[in-house]
Structure 1
Amino acid sequence: MKGDDPTPNPSQPLGAGAEVLADYELWWCNHFQWLKDIGYLLRPRYAPGWVPSWRSSKKIWYRCEDAQIPWYGHILDATRIDDGAFVALKVVSKSRHPFEVEIASYFSSESIANDPANHCIPIYEVTQVPDDQDKVIMIMPLLGMHGDPSFDTFGEAVECFRQLFEGLRFMHNHHVAHRDCMTLNIMMDPKRLYIDAFHPFQPTMRRDFKGLARHFSRTQRPPKYFFIDFGISCRYDPADEEPTEDPI
């Protein structure tokens, strides 16, 4: 049944037909009202009865906010209704990634969440999907890609690496191996860096698509970098001094 799973169909081009929701987008549309009821508002594209804005305007479709399609079907942005904060929602299959929520939530536990060396993405909340007992949604801050906007100086890049090594050591000191430290899993907190809220799938644009998103340099407003995605991470018994895993 269409809309049962937010995972993209590889045979379906991501840019095919901006006027028609992709199968994996229908999952979000089908859960729009439930998410709103628990305090999270999706963008207009996913509202019931959505009509593409470019039909009634002179704009070219790809210059409209509601034509922007997610990069990944299981992750979407939302606005937290209580305070207007932008958040990221990630659908996690408990059977496929049984330890992801546990490990990610551990680094948001009260005793270590505010440690300056902790560079693991904060988890605000984990909520059970009501019509699928295998799926939960992790609610997290909306972060930006670590390399966008671009680095301007060697010092900015050095600071990025310093934080990443600090974060890796922190995880290892807590007996966790991330096991997937690659470029897509390194993000940054954009709040201090950006003057305008950026669009999550077109970061050079403002969230409302009414112009370019203005920002400071990293030297002017140094961001904090974070590791995300603990889907294949492992947490080990402290008594095991030399834990091993099969190569990925």
Structure 2
Amino acid sequence: MSELKKRALENPSDLTIITFNYDLMLERVLDEISQKGHSETFFFPGCYRIEGLTEVQAMAKKEDKFASENFEHKGVALLKLHGSMNWHSRHNSNAPTPKGMFDITRDLHVLNSKMVQHSIVWKRKQRQVYMKPVIVPPVSGKRGMIHQDLLGLWNKAAKALAQADRVVIAGYSCPPLDLEARILLSENLRAKPNKRVYVVDPSPQTATRFIELCGVDFITIYKSIEAWVRDRRP
């Protein structure tokens, strides 16, 4: 994470992180940076760039919350294209139907929580409300499962990839059946052929996939994060 910290401090608004992960590790790292005298780095929940978001659900324990709440779209952008474990929707049952669970129009609620919340039960007007994470399962043909608020994030990700001078791809193997992600990368990385792409992955097969997919003039393959960090040092 040392390279992430360096990039975040140099010019936070120039850094866009696109992730398919649900966890909150990136938020915790950015929050830590922000609390160490770099407040312009991390704005929660503004970092998510979700349009129309004006409130968050507070958690009970102060130590589990992010330090401050700010809805401005400033600082590092964190685009979570498959949702997040602190984005929840409300349901009347602890076992909602697939239709209810993946209704793309259901309300999305962001929790101010540093901890992963798999399921929450709240009492509301004398009845129980069950909160379930808003995530996209790792399946092919997932377009119909993507929440309407996430579709805007995919558009933002496409624009960021198309306009970027440098793109670092780490921790994503580009599986053949993940068609939506492959199209996102292929169409937008090719939009600017002179951009520099760095792929961090120990697998030669993954590296080959990205070489075929990217269609750019400059691509460098690293087998580990450590190798990439060493090479990027001045």
User: What range describes the TM-score normalised by the shorter chain of this pair?
Assistant: under 0.3
TM-score by length of 1: 0.25
TM-score by length of 2: 0.26
- Return the structure number with greater helix share: 2
